[in-house]
Structure 1
Amino acid sequence: MKWLVTKSRLQGAVDIPASKSHTIRALLIATLARGESVILKPLFSKDGVSALHASKCLGAEISEQGETLIVQGTGGAITPKVPMIDMGNSGTSTRLFTLAAALSTTPVCFDGDASLRSRPMGPLLQALQDLGGSYECTEKDGHLPYSVHGSLRGTDITVDGTTSQYLSALLMTTPLIPGNTVISVPQLNEKPYVEMTLWWLDKMEISYEVNSGFNKFLVYGDQQYRPIEEKISGDFSSATFAAVGAAVTGGSVTLHNLDFSDPQGDKGVFDILRRMGATVTIEGKSVTVSAQQLHGTTIDLNAMPDAIAALAVLGTVAEGETRIENVAQARIKETDRIAVMADELRKMGADIEELDDGLIIRKSTLHGAAVSGHEDHRVVMALALAGMIASGETEIDTAEAADVTYPSFYDDFTVLGGHLQKI
């Protein structure tokens, strides 16, 4: 599917969909817990469905009652119901559920689409092996498709911190295995996502220790998850697009369903918007964003790499130069988002320069063009914002990818005044 986008001014209010990251963690904990869990208003997107599918395949019994999931957990006794689990495009779900699957002595195979097959899994598989598990990659070492199985036992391990998902997977499964696990993590990226994982462990009263540098963790073994009952809060990563959209189009948008006490790192986007000259007003679980004139700045995006696509568009309307740095891990997401955003925005006339770990963007006058979303949900949504500030028409392919995390994007942004058309 393609979207045709023309100049727009966003105005109004929008309810932000539930957090993908919280939904996946909630489903994993509910799967591993003993007893019945209730998950209220999870994200029913493609990534959410992948996590739901994995949960069922690993033995959880799940019923859907409107916007609520009722999960009968396994108590950590994983009994795979199928020999292979198709994870679609969900890297987070794949990494978190892979280690949990190794609680089973029966091999479980994971696979996904072409994008997911390209993403690195080697450090997680090595950590699994260090814990006593086994894996086999059937095509390319360190990549999907692969099979995993146990038995896992606590020990001292080191895991790569390029993506926080490797560490989160370990932190969520090692409490259930025999013995204590000491995890060393040199150069951890995306710290807020680990803090989100620890937030869940704290809610479950799981015992662990972490040092001040966030590079060594002690997880006590032989623990058990209790059932959860939790409403999933709004997704700050998805909120980024409405917030940036308001700022770049000169409109004013109120975003509902956002809890600023939540550990999600992408709430930092609102601080960046303020720093660049936008007006940001928070009232309870709502925030209003508007802007008339923006100025460039330097942005360390290590903690929230998912924001790079939208912020690259923001840089094109800011006076002077916007420098995004310390976010090399954006190259190993659904696409190489650094290279892709530079290439696609150049097609629209952007003055943009690619760095090893980020981008330099200078104020530019954008024009419509035929651009590719590269089957990456965040790239598609960011290019839609670019089309709203460009002259002429912008045609975006693979637009259906937005459904991965924001299935209502097209409808929400049309209601806000975005000129989008499906073709």
Structure 2
Amino acid sequence: MELEIQKTESIEGVIKAPPSKSYTHRAIIISSLADGKSVLKDPLLSEDTLASLKACNSFGCDIKEKENDCIVNGTNGILETPEDVLDLKNSGTTLRIMTTVSSLAPNYAVLTGDSSLRTRPMQDLLDALENLGVRAFSLRGNGKPPICIKGGFKGGKTDIKGNVSSQFISSLLIAAPYAENPVDIHVKGDFISKPYVDMTTDVMEKFGVNLDYDKKNNSFHVEPQAYKGRNYTIEGDYSSASYIIGAAAALESNVRIKNLFKDSKQGDKQILDIVKDMGAEVNFKKDEVVIRGHGKLNGVEVNLDNAPDLLPTVAALGAIAEGITIIKNVEHARFKETDRIHTCALELSKLGVNVKENEDGLVIKGGATGGTVKSHGDHRLVMALSLVGLKVGNVRIENASVYDVSFPKFPEGMKELGCKINQI
């Protein structure tokens, strides 16, 4: 399926932000480990989060979808060994978190996925697990999936680099309460994308687990304990909402986005500061945001070390802004569904944008025109490139249906606001 995007002068209306993908992953996995029943209200059921749901089912958890909820009968950390190899599709979050969770099952588990997921680096997590008494290894010996994990999580002390993937730290933390002994995790070096770990500890604490974080030494301590089942509502996703926010900022607009919390721990909340700096009006009301755009943006300099998923959105906005936009400190975006620094530069250049690719980001000079671009199988690239089409018109995106990974109703939601997006 392709998306065809035409120039749109103005948009307005009220839209609900999609539920948070990050919080949905964490809530599904943690409630699956919990003692007792949980009701997850308003979860995002997309390709990625369904990978986590199906993985938890394979380990013996009973999860049922009922209307807009998920009913989870937790395992109290007593998992079954899956009957077969688990295909996690393209979900990096599921792969990283379930690698450690798999060690709570009695025998061997094997995790793999599509061709993109099998390029994801995992060796740092595997090394950290070895120090905790977990036997986990790459079946091809290249530090990438397929990953085989042998049951048994002794606990103890380990180190993990903080500048590769915050998901490694989240993986260790989420399973840590069920280790045989206390778990101490020291984060070495720069701690990038820390808001994602803050989300993890937030959900852990909401499900009844206590942990200690030593900010001075960048270390976590978790005692053996159990999650407790509960009712839990998933908040809106700033990552997915960034495309709505970006469209509203770029065009003449008055858009109200519901289910976005002002005190959210999501690092991608930074998108509000970014579009404000670029010239849009941003106002918070109770659990919602109002964006007013004036049809004109100016370039900015942005540090995305704590919000790497915003890279495609900000790159697209830079492509339609006046002046130069500099995106820096986001080298870890090279290890997402695609090398996002490279694919953003490649596809924006097809639309006439002057883009310089740096090791840790991009330098973008506006001036986008229409053209045909590719998705590279990356949901965020599809939705970000749509923003360029809304501003300049005549943009066609090939293999666009991958937006399903995180925002299943993306075209329909944008069209409700007046965006000229067609599925062909």
Secondary structure in 1 matching 2:116 = helix
Q: 2:289 aligns with which of 287, 290, 315?
A: 287
1:44, 1:194 → 2: CA distance?
22
2:244, 2:52 → 1: CA distance?
25
1:310, 1:214 → 2: CA distance?
34
Secondary structure in 1 matching 2:345 = helix
Partner of 2:313: 310
Q: 1:277 aligns with which of 276, 279, 289?
A: 279
CA contact (8 A) 1:83 1:107 kept: no
Partner of 1:353: 356
Q: 2:203 aligns with which of 182, 200, 203?
A: 200
Partner of 2:300: 297
User: Which residue identity lines up with residue 279 of structure 1 in the other structure?
Assistant: E
User: Which residue identity lines up with residue 423 of structure 2 in the other structure?
Assistant: K
Partner of 2:2: 2
2:415, 2:99 → 1: CA distance?
38
Deviation at 1:363, TM superposition (A): 2.5
Partner of 1:88: 89
Q: 1:170-185 counterparts in 2 under 5 A?
A: 170-185=172-187
User: Which residue identity lines up with residue 303 of structure 1 in the other structure?
Assistant: N
Deviation at 1:40, TM superposition (A): 0.8
Partner of 1:75: 76
Partner of 2:422: 421
Partner of 2:129: 128
Pair 231,140 (structure 1): closer, same or farther in 2 beyond 3 Å:
same
Partner of 1:116: 117
Deviation at 1:213, TM superposition (A): 4.0
User: Is residue 328 of structure 1 aligned with residue 331 of structure 2?
Assistant: yes
For structure 1, which segment, 248-257 or 157-166, has the greater mean C-alpha deviation from structure 2 after superposition?
248-257
User: Is residue 169 of structure 1 aligned with residue 171 of structure 2?
Assistant: yes
Deviation at 1:214, TM superposition (A): 6.5
User: Is residue 404 of structure 1 aligned with residue 408 of structure 2?
Assistant: no
Partner of 1:47: 48
CA contact (8 A) 1:132 1:150 kept: no
1:354, 1:99 → 2: CA distance?
35
CA RMSD of aligned residues (A): 1.4
1:10, 1:46 → 2: CA distance?
29
Deviation at 1:418, TM superposition (A): 1.6
Secondary structure in 2 matching 1:39 = strand
Partner of 1:219: 222
Pair 106,16 (structure 1): closer, same or farther in 2 beyond 3 Å:
same
Pair 80,10 (structure 1): closer, same or farther in 2 beyond 3 Å:
farther
User: Is residue 190 of structure 1 aligned with residue 193 of structure 2?
Assistant: yes
Partner of 1:36: 37
Pair 406,214 (structure 1): closer, same or farther in 2 beyond 3 Å:
farther
User: Which residue identity lines up with residue 222 of structure 2 in the other structure?
Assistant: V
Deviation at 1:256, TM superposition (A): 1.0
1:135, 1:248 → 2: CA distance?
47
CA contact (8 A) 1:300 1:326 kept: yes
Pair 214,359 (structure 1): closer, same or farther in 2 beyond 3 Å:
farther
User: Which residue identity lines up with residue 240 of structure 1 in the other structure?
Assistant: S
- Poorly superposed stretches of 4+, deviation over 6 Å: none
Pair 352,214 (structure 1): closer, same or farther in 2 beyond 3 Å:
farther
Q: List runs of 5+ in structure 1 lacking aligned partners.
A: none
For structure 1, which segment, 120-129 or 69-78, has the greater mean C-alpha deviation from structure 2 after superposition?
120-129
CA contact (8 A) 2:283 2:290 kept: yes
CA contact (8 A) 1:163 1:188 kept: no
How many residues align? The count is 420
Partner of 1:386: 388
Q: 1:248 aligns with which of 250, 254, 258?
A: 250
How many percent identity over aligned positions?
A: 36
2:98, 2:230 → 1: CA distance?
18
Secondary structure in 2 matching 1:406 = coil
Deviation at 1:249, TM superposition (A): 2.3
User: Which residue identity lines up with residue 261 of structure 1 in the other structure?
Assistant: D
Secondary structure in 1 matching 2:77 = coil
2:133, 2:155 → 1: CA distance?
8
2:145, 2:217 → 1: CA distance?
29
Deviation at 1:166, TM superposition (A): 0.2
User: Which residue identity lines up with residue 377 of structure 1 in the other structure?
Assistant: H
* Deviations, residues 201-249 of structure 1 (Å, cap 9, x unaligned): 22233232212247211222x2111112101111111010000111112
1:382, 1:82 → 2: CA distance?
39
For structure 1, which segment, 2-11 or 31-40, has the greater mean C-alpha deviation from structure 2 after superposition?
2-11
Q: List runs of 5+ in structure 2 lacking aligned partners.
A: none
* Deviations, residues 45-70 of structure 1 (Å, cap 9, x unaligned): 11111111011011101121111111
